[in-house]
Amino acid sequence: MFKEMLENVRKRRPLVHNITNYVTVNDCANIVLACGGSPIMSDDIDEVEEITALCGALNINIGTLNSRTIPSMLAAGEKANELKRPVVLDPVGAGASRLRTDTALKLLEEVRFSVIRGNISEIKTLAAGSGTTKGVDADSADVVTKESLEQVCGFVKGFAAQTGAVIAVTGAIDIIADNNKAYCVYNGHPMMGSVTGTGCQLSAMTAAYAAANPESVLEAAAAAVCAMGICGETAYERLSPRDGNSSYRNYIIDAVYRLDGDTLESRARYRII
């Protein structure tokens, strides 16, 4: 099933509109190309609706948020809703500042999202209306463990029910859920946390997967999360003793470029709760 999700991206080559931060934007563009999509970045209020209308999905990422682009995010989100195109939200740093929390909440109010992807602290912040995100990383008090997994799945399903979105919480164990089904994904490698923007990249790739599989957004999101995790693993296997986080970044994107449906299917490690 995940295989089909991946192959649809390669076959349909969806255009993905990204309104995203300037830190990881280049990697987001390259990973969308790597998985088979075509990225366009645009954030000016005078063109975002037209650009969204050209695209198969919209990815909104609030890293390096600024007042100029908030209205662009809202306008593009509303246009995508009107045209029934999937919209992904990456609430980077929600909980770390009032501006990010409030903007994320406002986006939730005005835009129907297909997928919301963040770390556990960001997602808890959205659910609670405030939070304690440590910069752009999850608060250690929030981290998902084997023991807390079932309980967290319940919370995630509840938040999915409340928002109507697929919720993707990424971390050591990833949880991707709608209101009644949760994929718990065990792929990935801890070193991914020492590359800036692996979360942003995953959100952009998720938008490409959702664009190519609009009827199966939960499975598309789970496939994208597994794909990223597997690529984190195969990229890690490739590291030489002198390689560090910069080469690792390149190898992860390279792995996404080379990933095929059979490998995705056979290396995906998850259970459904």
Return the number of the residue (117 or 249) whose C-beta is nearest a second copy.
249
CB of 41 to a second copy, least distance (A): 5
DSSP the chain: -HHHHHHHHHHH--EEEEE--SSSHHHHHHHHHHHT-EEEE---TTTHHHHHHHSSEEEEE-TT--TTTHHHHHHHHHHHHHTT--EEEE-TTBTTBHHHHHHHHHHHHHS--SEEEE-HHHHHHHHHS----BTTB--GGG---TTTHHHHHHHHHHHHHHHSSEEEE-SSSEEEE-SS-EEEE----GGGGGSTTHHHHHHHHHHHHHHH-TT-HHHHHHHHHHHHHHHHHHHHHH--TT--HHHHHHHHHHHHHH--HHHHHHH--EEE-
Return the number of the residue (148 or 250) whose C-beta is nearest a second copy.
250
At CA 24, angle to CA 97 and CA 196, rounded to 5?
A: 80
Gap between the Cα atoms of 272 and 200, Å rounded: 25
CB of 252 to a second copy, least distance (A): 8
CB of 130 to a second copy, least distance (A): 12
Return the number of the residue (180 or 240) whose C-beta is nearest a second copy.
240
The footprint of a second copy (CB under 8 A) covers: 15, 21-27, 29-30, 33-34, 38-47, 50-51, 54-55, 63-68, 93, 96-100, 134-137, 194-197, 234, 238, 241-247, 249-258
Gap between the Cα atoms of 210 and 14, Å rounded: 9
Return the number of the residue (112 or 267) whose C-beta is nearest a second copy.
267
Return the number of the residue (69 or 179) whose C-beta is nearest a second copy.
69
DSSP 43-79: --TTTHHHHHHHSSEEEEE-TT--TTTHHHHHHHHHH
Return the number of the residue (30 or 114) whose C-beta is nearest a second copy.
30
CB of 160 to a second copy, least distance (A): 28
Return the number of the residue (81 or 247) whose C-beta is nearest a second copy.
247
Gap between the Cα atoms of 76 and 98, Å rounded: 22
CB of 72 to a second copy, least distance (A): 9
CB of 242 to a second copy, least distance (A): 6
CB of 210 to a second copy, least distance (A): 17
CB of 126 to a second copy, least distance (A): 17
Return the number of the residue (171 or 219) whose C-beta is nearest a second copy.
171
